[in-house]
Amino acid sequence: MISQAVQAAKNSDVAVVLVNDVTGEGSDRGSLAIPGDQDQLISAVAAANPRTVVVLDTGGAVLMPWLGKVAAVIESWYPGQEFGTAIAALLWGDVSPSGHLPMTFPASDAQARSSISWPGTIVSGPAGAQPTVTYSEGIGVGYRWYDTEKVAPLFPFGYGLSYTRFAYSHLRIARMRSNVSVSFTVANSGARPGSEIAQLYVDDPRVAGEPPKQLAGYDRVFLRPHRSTRVTITLTPRSLSYWDSPKARWRVAHGLYRILVGSSSRDIRLRGFLRR
């Protein structure tokens, strides 16, 4: 049916291709590639119509070898019975996209295997051949590994675009007894109403031995064009703590903390410092 899809794309103003993955319990995916000939379908349609939109109906990260050939990609995850209504509202522009990725999308299978021990190995034992996964990544989980190793993923943790634009400004860090208040201004600088998910990351002092930065809070704000709002996120002592394994307790390291605010883990807009 690829030839039929290509012909339809040639005769259309915009082509929409909806693809999905296949997952289940009891086994790991051998690859992050979309199964079947769906990658070939997308490439063929995009070659026929550069205004191609890909809608991903997936449960996790997937590879996108055709990314540079399409106009847009929407990650819908596994939606419910109103899936069609919701996607139509986004495609027609009735609603602006506002979701941000809760995981990192690797650029390749090799990159994914480097960040975690995936997809595991089959070993033989008393119960026969069993899949065994070794969790050797320690605290370098997800985006923390990519930041520590300075590796560029396909899409970073927290990433998400919109039909409008948002600006960040006026970072203020204030102590409140044992807590810390981090406030900043988010403004809709575009021409469409929309929501933004502002994210706060903390980079611990080097003595803590933690990854370069970790998500410590976030807030979702809806703004009309050319409007702004003040966002405040409170950091508790636990937000600034690291786990001391030998002593089996949370500890707050003494030193200089970096306070990072932005639209994703790789799109930091504001930076400040806090000394403890």
In the chain, domain spans: 2-91, 166-275
pLDDT value of residue 274: 96
pLDDT value of residue 113: 84
pLDDT in tens, the chain (276 residues): 999 999 999 999 999 999 999 887 776 788 999 999 999 999 999 999 999 999 999 999 999 999 999 999 999 998 889 999 999 999 999 999 999 999 999 999 999 888 777 666 666 666 666 667 777 888 999 999 999 999 999 999 999 999 999 999 999 999 998 999 999 999 999 999 999 999 999 999 999 999 999 999 999 999 999 999 999 999 999 999 999 999 999 999 999 999 999 999 999 999 999 998
Whether residue 245 contacts residue 257, with contact meaning beta carbons closer than 8 Å, is answered with no
Compute the distance between CA of residue 229 and CA of residue 248 in angstroms, rounded to an integer: 41
**Fold category of 166-275 in CATH:** Immunoglobulin-like (2.60.40)
pLDDT value of residue 122: 64
pLDDT value of residue 145: 94
**pTM to 2 decimal places:** 0.91
Burial of 225 (0-12, 13-18, 19+ CB in 10 A): middle
pLDDT value of residue 124: 65
**Fold category of 2-91 in CATH:** Rossmann fold (3.40.50)
pLDDT value of residue 79: 86
Compute the distance between CA of residue 130 and CA of residue 124 in angstroms, rounded to an integer: 6
pLDDT value of residue 99: 94
> Which tens digits make up the pLDDT trace of 204-242?
999 999 999 999 999 999 999 999 999 999 999 999 999
